[in-house]
């Protein structure tokens, strides 16, 4: 970063500080990962200088000789990796990608059915504070209180009653396998478009560690930076020409201007990496690690939503531990264990001070950590949470000790890209 160091040493120092923080921390945020050095290099290039409104072969600016090739490579790699006929790699991130689905298939005021945010859905699946909840008519499904899992009979009942034009499956805090065939059957029965939001599990789908929505969902939306381990970005995929045309028009000119070509190139790189056998092993290990960590936490008295996990994600309710999710997450962060506080289904507390914590194993698995390290991390989470529930003095001592142990562990597992 020699130029950055001399032009803007303040920003250069802050970037270095963030890199050190990422290196020394156990990243347990379920939606984050470490992009490879190759992905990072592609994002920091002259591609950022170019405007390319339109699509390959049909642009509104000249000078697309190289950009077209890059975007075509990204599209072809997405199609081959996920087994779809069409891919749009231009959405700036997950929320714009999902908004494009609305623009493609719904008129304002029409009905969308999605999982409620506190049950694990996403804001853009029709939650009230989102444009998607304000401009459309949202109806919601959740999970059963006794199992913590989606009840497909209930989903069908709501769909038959409300007749949504669009159904979203998938979300941001779902620890269990998404039943794409069952959602597809319901969508067909009520004549709705089925959108599978696989943002969290895209890497697992690509690596064969979660069933694919292809052949079931009409459209698939994903971010590219979670388990897929690419740059911040998103993609929309479809099998039929008709859906693909509608999505393309919705992304551009419907919602966006020029695509971020540096991101497109980095997406292409990440898709190439995700097509390797090594990535398949990674995806399998992410799930094995999550299951080991879930078992450790469960054995230590943590109340896991749905009792465990099938994917990379674990959501737990701290009510039995006598502490809220927020103070627990803040204490864990001080100890070098990075998580996020999160609502749990049927939460009685507010979203900014909820009962739960959400964690995931995508990042730690990218660093090469395995089951033994997951058991250690589970023990640290328990020690910090139990200490902070007892009071500040006890917590200080434990946080200092765990922080030292975390730094020692992370020094043996260098993170990709750092």
Supply the residues annotated as catalytic. Answer: 51, 53, 197, 223, 226, 232
CB of 19 to ligand DSN, least distance (A): 21
Least distance in angstroms from the C-beta of 252 to ligand DSN: 22
Least CB distance to ligand DSN at residue 71 (A): 24
Whether 242 has a binding-site annotation, put simply, is yes
| CB proximity list for 270: less than 8 A, separation 6 or greater | 35, 36, 39, 224, 228, 229, 230, 231
Token couple for 87: 């891919």
- 93-152: contacts with ligand DSN (CB under 6 A): 94, 122
Under rule CB under 6 A, residue 291 binds ligand DSN: no
**What is the footprint of ligand DSN within residues 348-367 (CB under 6 A)?**
none
Q: Is 123 annotated as a binding residue?
A: yes
Residue 348 phi/psi, 5° resolution?
-95, -5
User: Per-residue x/- marks for ligand DSN, 24-53, CB under 6 A?
Assistant: -------x----------------------
Give the single-character DSSP code of 389. H
**Residue from 33, 130, 172, 311 that binds ligand DSN (CB under 6 A)?**
172
Alpha-carbon distance 130 to 102, whole Å? 13
* Residue 343 interacts with ligand DSN (CB under 6 A): yes or no: no
For residue 356, the SS3 value is: strand
Of 31 and 36, CB closest to ligand DSN: 31
- Closest approach of ligand DSN to the CB of residue 276, in Å: 25
Minimum Å gap between C-beta 9 and ligand DSN is: 31
Q: Would you say 71 or 197 has its CB closer to ligand DSN?
A: 197
Comparison of 36 and 172: residue with beta carbon closer to ligand DSN: 172
**Is 216 annotated to bind ligand?**
no
DSSP-assigned letters across all residues of 194-226: EEEE-TTTHHHHHTTSS---TTT-SEEEEESSS
* Closest-approach residue to ligand DSN (CB): 31
> Smaller CB distance to ligand DSN: residue 232 or 401?
232
Long-range CB contacts (within 8 A, 24+) of 242-250? 243/86, 243/104, 243/193, 243/218, 243/219, 244/85, 244/86, 244/88, 246/104, 246/105, 247/86, 247/88, 247/100, 247/101, 247/104, 247/219, 248/55, 248/88, 249/104, 250/100, 250/101, 250/103, 250/104
With contact defined as beta carbons under 8 Å apart, do 366 and 415 qualify?
Answer: yes
Closest by CA position to 151, among listed 348, 345, 297: 345
The DSSP string of 30-93 is: TT-----HHHHHHHTSGGGG----EETTEESSS--HHHHHHHHHHHHHHHHHHT-SEEE---SS
For residue 414, give the DSSP letter.
P
CB of 145 vs ligand DSN, minimal distance in Å = 23
Structure tokens at 123: 């804001």
Return the C-alpha torsion angle 228, 376, 380, 309, nearest 10. 50
Rounded to a whole number of angstroms, the minimum distance from the CB of residue 290 to ligand DSN is 15
Query: Is there binding between residue 222 and ligand DSN (CB under 6 A)?
Result: no
206 or 246: whose CB is closer to ligand DSN?
Answer: 206
Give the chain's largest Cα–Cα span.
Answer: 65
Contact 260, 268 (CB under 8 A): no
Categorise residue 106: left if φ over 0, alpha if ψ from -120 to 50, beta otherwise. Answer: beta
User: Closest distance between ligand DSN and the C-beta of residue 172, in Å?
Assistant: 3
Helix (H, G, I), strand (E, B) or coil at 234: strand
Exposure of 173 in the CB half-sphere (CA atoms within 13 A): 30
Residue 227 as a binder of ligand DSN (CB under 6 A): the answer is no
Residue 121 assigned as binding residue = yes
Residue 33 or 88: which CB sits closer to ligand DSN?
Answer: 33
Comparison of 85 and 128: residue with beta carbon closer to ligand DSN: 128
Q: What residues line the site for ligand DSN (CB under 6 A)?
A: 31, 94, 122, 172
Query: Where is the binding site for (6S)-5,6,7,8-tetrahydrofolate, in residues?
Result: 117, 121-123, 242
Binding residues: 117, 121-123, 242
């Amino acid at each position: 970063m020699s130029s950055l160091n001399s032009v803007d040493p303040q920003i250069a120092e802050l970037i270095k500080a963030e890199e050190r923080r990422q290196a020394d921390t156990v990243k347990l945020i379920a939606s984050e990962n470490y992009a490879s050095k190759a992905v990072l290099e592609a994002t920091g290039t002259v591609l950022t200088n170019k405007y390319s409104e339109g699509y390959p072969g049909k642009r509104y600016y000249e000078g697309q000789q190289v950009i077209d090739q890059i975007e075509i490579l990204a599209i072809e790699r997405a199609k081959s990796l996920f087994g779809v006929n069409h891919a749009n790699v231009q959405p700036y991130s997950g929320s714009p990608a999902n908004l494009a689905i609305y623009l493609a298939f719904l008129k304002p005021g029409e009905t969308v059915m999605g999982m409620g945010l506190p049950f694990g859905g996403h804001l853009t699946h029709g939650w009230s504070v989102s444009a998607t909840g304000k401009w459309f008519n949202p109806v919601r499904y959740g999970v059963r209180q006794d199992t913590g899992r989606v009840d497909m009979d209930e989903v069908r009942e709501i769909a038959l009653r409300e007749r949504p034009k669009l159904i979203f499956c998938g979300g941001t805090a779902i620890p269990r396998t998404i039943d794409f065939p069952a959602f597809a059957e319901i969508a067909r029965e009520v004549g709705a478009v089925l959108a599978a939001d696989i943002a969290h599990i895209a890497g697992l789908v690509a690596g064969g560690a979660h069933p694919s929505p292809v052949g079931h969902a009409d459209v698939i939306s994903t971010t590219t930076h979670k388990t897929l381990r690419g740059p911040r970005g998103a993609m929309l995929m479809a099998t039929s020409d008709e859906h693909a045309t509608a999505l393309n028009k919705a992304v551009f000119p419907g919602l966006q201007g020029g695509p971020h070509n540096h991101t497109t190139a980095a997406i292409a790189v990440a898709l190439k990496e995700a097509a390797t056998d090594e990535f398949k092993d990674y995806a399998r290990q992410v799930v094995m690690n999550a299951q080991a960590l879930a078992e450790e936490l469960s054995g230590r008295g943590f109340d896991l939503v749905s009792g465990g996990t099938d994917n990379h994600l674990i959501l737990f309710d701290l009510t039995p531990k006598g502490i809220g999710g927020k103070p627990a997450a803040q204490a864990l962060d001080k100890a070098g264990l990075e998580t996020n506080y999160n609502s749990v289904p049927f939460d009685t507390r507010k979203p900014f001070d909820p009962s739960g914590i959400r964690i995931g194993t995508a990042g730690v698995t990218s660093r090469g950590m395995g089951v033994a390290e997951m058991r250690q991390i589970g023990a640290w989470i328990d020690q910090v949470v139990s200490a902070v529930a007892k009071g500040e003095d006890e917590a200080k001592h434990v946080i200092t000790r765990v922080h030292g142990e975390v730094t020692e562990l992370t020094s043996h597992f260098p993170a990709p890209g750092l």
